[in-house]
Amino acid sequence: MSTLLLIEQVLNGLQFGVMLFLMAAGLTLIFGVMGLINLAHGSLYMIGAFAAAAVAGATGSFVLALIASLAAAAAAGAIIELVVIRRLYDRDHLDQVLATFALILIFSEGTRWVFGSFPLFLDIPDALAGPVMLPGGIQYPAYRLLIIAIGLLVAFGLFQLIARTRIGIQIRAGESDREMIAALGVDISKLYTLVFALGAALAGLAGALVGAIQSVQVGMGEPVLILAFVVIVIGGIGSIKGALVGALLVGLTDTLGGVLLPGFFGTFMEASAATAVGSSLASMSIYILMAGVLLFKPTGLYGSA
């Protein structure tokens, strides 16, 4: 395998990683601050993508579509927090899983009811269509570079938000002691709604960004949700830094595993058998990574014990 191809695959892994980060950041914030397992996070991702597709279809503007995805997902997040999730904070995790699973079904079938059963069209803006030439002669799709840039910007913004702002202080305080922060006069329920909407908006943004190069269809969120859970378990639940590191690790492992493992088995096996064994093992690679991390750090890389 040439160095250029390897660099290109590393970029692919990075791009996949930052996309996972957008999903995992919201999930880990919600779990960290409120102690809630939100299975419906994938539905918020789907809502973002559908809102973007609808607005892009009506206006033709990709920027408006991205704004719509943020707004729609944040609004949906705030509404379900106010109507459903709020009643679940004091219940155990099983009740939360059941209720948020019900939300998945409601959102999936509701979306199908509104938009129909067939996938929607959402394309990348013309200005970003096609590849750009990177130094060293690598052709790489411009849009994927944009995803990497947006993901890193969002990560930077989140770190600033958590570390430098008053809201960030409240979020961190909420993570370590919920009763105390309420006793100090912070409106905890408003904080919860805000955090939930923020997490939802990030998921919606991820859905819109990715929807443009994948398919916008009902059920698109659930496979990503599973990966996002893997990411936050690896990174340590509640840690934004852990979510970023975990997401990049998972992205790189998944991409490079799929590329390198079949080649590795090909050195001593017959070609089509090597492809089969290599790709099967590659699909397991991130779970093996997760098991390995948990073996040595049971609370994840940046988790607090």
Name the residues that contact another protein, by CB under 8 A: 1-2, 4-5, 8-9, 12, 15-16, 105, 108-109, 112-113, 117-121, 123-124, 129-131, 139, 141, 143-144, 210, 212-220, 223, 255, 258-259, 262, 271-272, 275-276, 279-280, 282-283
Closest to another protein by CB, 31 or 143:
143
Q: Kindly tell me which of 95 and 123 has the beta carbon lying closer to another protein.
A: 123
Pick between residue 193 and residue 217 the one whose CB is nearest to another protein.
217
Closest residue by Cα to residue 268 from 259, 256, 277: 277
- State the nearest-atom distance from the C-beta of 204 to another protein, in Å: 17
Q: Measuring CA to CA, which residue among 260, 11, 49, 245 is closest to residue 144?
A: 11
86: number of Cβ within 10 Å: 16
Shortest spacing between CB 54 and another protein, in angstroms: 13
| Cβ proximity to another protein, 198 vs 282, nearer residue | 282
Nearest approach, Cβ of 115 to another protein (angstroms)?
Answer: 11
Helix (H) or strand (E) holding 191: helix 188-211
The H-assigned helical ranges of 86-141 are 93-115
- Those residues whose C-beta lies under 8 Å from the C-beta of residue 156, and which sit 6 or more positions away, are none
CB of 39 to another protein, least distance (A): 15
Cβ proximity of 195 and 29 under 8 Å: yes
Would you say 145 or 161 has its CB closer to another protein?
145
Question: Measured between alpha carbons, how far is 195 from 208 in angstroms, rounded to an integer?
Answer: 20
How far is Cα 16 from Cα 229, in angstroms, rounded to an integer? 15
Q: Measured from the CB of residue 268, what is the shortest distance to another protein in angstroms?
A: 17
- Under a CB-based contact definition with an 8 Å cutoff, are residues 37 and 275 in contact? no
